[in-house]
Structure 1
Amino acid sequence: MKSLGSIRRSFAPWSDPGAKPYISFENVTKIFGDFTAVDDLSLDIFEKEFFALLGGSGSGKSTLLRMLAGFDEPTRGRILLDGQDLRGIPPYRRPLNMMFQSYALFPHMTVEANVGFGLRQEGVPKAEIEARVAEMLKLVKLEQFAKRKPHQLSGGQRQRVALARSVAKRPKVLLLDEPLGALDKKLREETQFELMDLQQSLGLTFIVVTHDQEEAMTMADRIAILDKGKLMQVATPAEVYEAPASRFVASFIGNVNMFEGKVAARDAGSARITGASGAEILVGNAGDAAAGNTVSFAVRPEKIRVSSKRPEGAVNALEGEVYDLAYLGDMTVYHVRLDDGQVVKASALNSSRASDDPLTWHDRAWISFAPDAGVVLTR
């Protein structure tokens, strides 16, 4: 069986019917006044999983995290951690820690004092604190900065201090609320891989809230996509990208082209879709779409080929004009306006320094794609 995408690690307890979730949201609803932030949501997260809550503003992702942390209580439903109902348990008695976007470091304390603060508050012996702080600073590669104050560090270094402080108490779960939002793009990309390595080294359960799709796709074992308090899909990054459950998910994750039409005919798993302009598309996997259903065929830009001539033997080929293009170095992005008016986005990897079929603005062009290049969506 072919995989939908690259697999970062073999860890996949959610696919085992006998596996017990470590954290469970059971029919959780949270209402603030007349606003429903989370709407009857059920979700399971497994021990040692790196899990991402992904959504736009107002989707309910931060509210979920705050309820798990104990800063808010569900209006209805319950949250379980390792089988224990968390209702009524204050934040400081929950076996988890939360790292905020602001880092909240104490400016008058050194790096090592910041990292050991929680341990001192719990009355841990001095020798053990020193050993644990040294261990954490080595883990985040900040041993040489132990005596510095936060204002003497870069943004990325402050982020690592906050992370070391969060895991120094060895919580069972680490909650990260937009942890990389304050970093520049290059540092953010580097830190994503550092977080992944740290999570696996510590063997903790990480739950990250983010609005950044690339961040969630890079770090998480699974992603929960939220919209207006509802759970839209929970899946691995590859499944979310290659097999979105709805038009919303397909549009929210990455770039996508939607070819709208009706299923004109079914033949086993395949189908023929007819658009409003009369153009036909043959799809290899129509799922549960029945003849006569109005559907969307979602195709990612990198699955579409652009050429000056109709490719020989192409099953799905549509003609148009190059409306716009952008050369990005590693790839070229084309916007092709089809003869029926739809603009299609296609991307081509620049695997060689020169092109045998150069296209520019206003050139006539053909787009083509395989029957299995996309997914049929009925909702």
Structure 2
Amino acid sequence: MQSLNSIRRGFEPWNDPAARPYIHFDRVTKKFGDFAAVNDLSLTIFEREFFALLGASGCGKSTLLRMLAGFEEPTSGRILLDGQDLRGVPPYRRPVNMMFQSYALFPHMTVEKNIAFGLKQDGMPAADIAARVAEMLRLVKLEEFAKRKPHQLSGGQRQRVALARSVAKRPKVLLLDEPLGALDKKLREETQFELMDLQQDLGLTFLVVTHDQEEAMTMADRIAILDKGEVMQVATPPEIYEAPGSRFVADFVGSVNLFQGQVTRRDAGRAEIAGPGLVIHTANPGDAEQGKTVHYAIRPEKIRLSSFPPENARANAAQGEIYDIAYLGDVTIYNVKLDSGQIVKSTVINSQRSADDPLTWGDRAWIAFQPDSGVVLTR
């Protein structure tokens, strides 16, 4: 039997020209008065995909989810699910289910009765309901809590009851609106992996809305970054992080250093960028053109920090003063004020108990990086 890891590793229908999208937002606009919460947005999601809509509050991600669920209708455009246009289809007739951040459990019902509620509403035979509820309890590892009521459970357990109830009817698509927002950090991290495993076990399509970058990066096969009702980039988590398509995406996801400069030389696979107090040689020039002003984006963990100048300090290196340090246990974050005045962030992994090259506040230090460590952004 194929493992979940190997299934997930080989799952890339978006790279298959013959693959048919399962969910298709086709030039969808949603206006509330004169305000466009979603603006001419097109997006495709594939069957069995774990897809994340990521963005700040007000970017339109929850509005998209509500339109797919049927709680809102598009002002214009179409939403297709498995080839069917959903316009005019009421929420209760759509093959989707939605799990809310509040969980919305019935406080007077036990765990098993909460899970069974939707099945009873659909008229499923009692024996089938009992079997389905037992299956759901087993999946979310709550068999011993079946007779308890919601107030007798922890936050993480209530979250799993809500999840079990949402998938008990076996919808084609499960919609999750900030599903882990009420959990503490450690439990949230544990539940992220449980959700991933459950999604693979059930073979469902999951569409999650979140403002938590780490949550999206951990769970999703692909992420859509939204801003002001528009899609800024759709890609896998590694692509979003390592190859952001714009300054907005680079700055929104994770921490990044941005250097502005002018392209002074450009050939097939390399470019030279001259900025204030720093010359950059890059092996990832993108579509940068000679003479144009661009930004060079590089993540803090790609920047080396040392008391000593690198062997070739003419490019990809600059000197400054350490003015801030944050020790986080596994890593230490250094803020270095370069002689040009720019603040650069460097993340150093604490792989040993003591550093070979200890640096502290006020020390002079060099930053350095490799030509393939960052990317050039032209927008």
Normalising to structure 1: TM-score of the pair? Answer: 0.97
Answer yes or no: is 1:108 the counterpart of 2:108.
yes
Q: Which amino acid aligns with 2:22?
A: Y
* 1:174 Cα deviation after fit: 0.2
Q: Which amino acid aligns with 2:270?
A: S
Answer yes or no: is 1:34 the counterpart of 2:27.
no
Residue 285 of structure 2 aligns with which residue?
286
* 1:323 Cα deviation after fit: 1.1
Map Cα deviations across residues 227-274 of structure 1 (whole Å, 9 max, x no partner): 000000000000000000000000000000000011011122211101
Identity %: 77
Residue 77 of structure 1 aligns with which residue?
77
Q: Which amino acid aligns with 2:154?
A: S
SS of the aligned residue for 2:309 comes to: coil
* 1:112 Cα deviation after fit: 0.3
Map Cα deviations across residues 50-75 of structure 1 (whole Å, 9 max, x no partner): 00000001100000000000000000
Residue 133 of structure 2 aligns with which residue?
133
Residue 308 of structure 2 aligns with which residue?
309
Q: Distance in 2 between matches of 1:8 and 1:120?
A: 34
Q: Distance in 2 between matches of 1:371 and 1:312?
A: 14
Q: Distance in 2 between matches of 1:16 and 1:191?
A: 31
Q: Which amino acid aligns with 1:286?
A: P
* 1:288 Cα deviation after fit: 1.0
Q: Which amino acid aligns with 1:53?
A: L
8 Å Cα contact 2:193/2:219 also seen in 1: yes
8 Å Cα contact 2:278/2:317 also seen in 1: no
Residue 362 of structure 2 aligns with which residue?
362
Q: Distance in 2 between matches of 1:372 and 1:323?
A: 27
Residue 242 of structure 2 aligns with which residue?
242
* 1:176 Cα deviation after fit: 0.2
Q: Which amino acid aligns with 1:342?
A: Q
* 1:8 Cα deviation after fit: 5.5
Residue 3 of structure 1 aligns with which residue?
none
SS of the aligned residue for 1:103 comes to: coil
Residue 271 of structure 2 aligns with which residue?
271
Moved over 3 A (4+): none
Map Cα deviations across residues 165-206 of structure 1 (whole Å, 9 max, x no partner): 000001010000000000000000000000000000000000
Q: Which amino acid aligns with 1:173?
A: V
Residue 50 of structure 1 aligns with which residue?
50
8 Å Cα contact 2:277/2:340 also seen in 1: no
Q: Distance in 2 between matches of 1:331 and 1:106?
A: 44
Moved more, 72-81 or 264-273: 264-273
Unmatched segments (≥5 aa) in structure 1: 1-6
Q: Which amino acid aligns with 2:125?
A: P
Q: Distance in 1 between matches of 2:348 and 2:159?
A: 36
Residue 154 of structure 2 aligns with which residue?
154
Q: Distance in 1 between matches of 2:87 and 2:365?
A: 60
Q: Which amino acid aligns with 2:68?
A: L
Residue 143 of structure 1 aligns with which residue?
143
* 1:278 Cα deviation after fit: 4.8
Q: Distance in 2 between matches of 1:21 and 1:253?
A: 26
Residue 194 of structure 1 aligns with which residue?
194
| Cα RMSD (Å) | 1.0
Moved more, 104-113 or 278-287: 278-287
Map Cα deviations across residues 69-107 of structure 1 (whole Å, 9 max, x no partner): 000000010000000000000000001100000000000
Q: Distance in 1 between matches of 2:140 and 2:103?
A: 15
Q: Which amino acid aligns with 2:162?
A: A
Answer yes or no: is 1:334 the counterpart of 2:313.
no
What does 1:198-277 correspond to in 2, within 5 Å?
Answer: 198-275=198-275, 277=276
Q: Distance in 2 between matches of 1:8 and 1:295?
A: 36
Map Cα deviations across residues 103-150 of structure 1 (whole Å, 9 max, x no partner): 000000000000000000011000000000000001000000000010
Q: Distance in 1 between matches of 2:96 and 2:267?
A: 52
* 1:312 Cα deviation after fit: 1.8
Q: Distance in 2 between matches of 1:342 and 1:8?
A: 41
Q: Distance in 2 between matches of 1:221 and 1:231?
A: 17
**Closer/same/farther in 2, CA of residues 313 and 8 from structure 1, 3 Å limit:** farther
Q: Distance in 2 between matches of 1:104 and 1:219?
A: 23
Q: Which amino acid aligns with 1:44?
A: T
* 1:304 Cα deviation after fit: 0.2
* 1:313 Cα deviation after fit: 3.6
Residue 97 of structure 1 aligns with which residue?
97
Q: Distance in 2 between matches of 1:223 and 1:184?
A: 23
